[in-house]
Amino acid sequence: QVQLVESGGGLVQAGGSLRLSCTASGRTFSSYAMGWFRQAPGKEREFVARISWNGGRIYYADSVKGRFTISRDNAKNTVYLQMISLKPEDTAVYYCAASADAGLAINFMSLTLYRYWGQGTQVTVSS
């Protein structure tokens, strides 16, 4: 069992930055690949970024490439999402999620791959 808690969301102006954190409980964090997803009002939850268990494989949605950076610190059981050059269209609830494949799955954008989810943190970007 893995419990995930996100933090770091908030209100920021367009062009600003935020860093989201997701801290996991349990001793097996390092064996999971971690992903970030987001859900805007009235829209489906969508893939944002993913990092393998050791950070060796990283993927981003095209909409965030070059602006978002995912990283992890297995010693702290934490995965991060650094977001810069934020846009109003980045406004959403951001969720972290853990998948047991460690980072090898090819369907990494699929929500069904991820077994554990956090409660989400709100990010609002004003224009």
Give 97-108 pLDDT, tens digit per residue: 999 887 788 899
Contacts with 58 (C-beta within 8 Å, 6 or more apart), sequence order: 49, 50, 51, 52, 70
Contacts with 104 (C-beta within 8 Å, 6 or more apart), sequence order: 33, 52, 57
pLDDT of the residue at 103: 74
CB 61 within 8 A of CB 81: no
**Distance (Å, rounded) from C-alpha 81 to C-alpha 72?**
9
H or E stretch at 89: none
Site of tokens 């390092």: 30
pLDDT tens per residue, range 83-123: 999 999 999 999 999 998 877 888 999 999 999 999 999 99
Contacts with 65 (C-beta within 8 Å, 6 or more apart), sequence order: none
Cα distances from 44 to residues 1, 9, 40, 79, in angstroms, run 26, 19, 7, 23
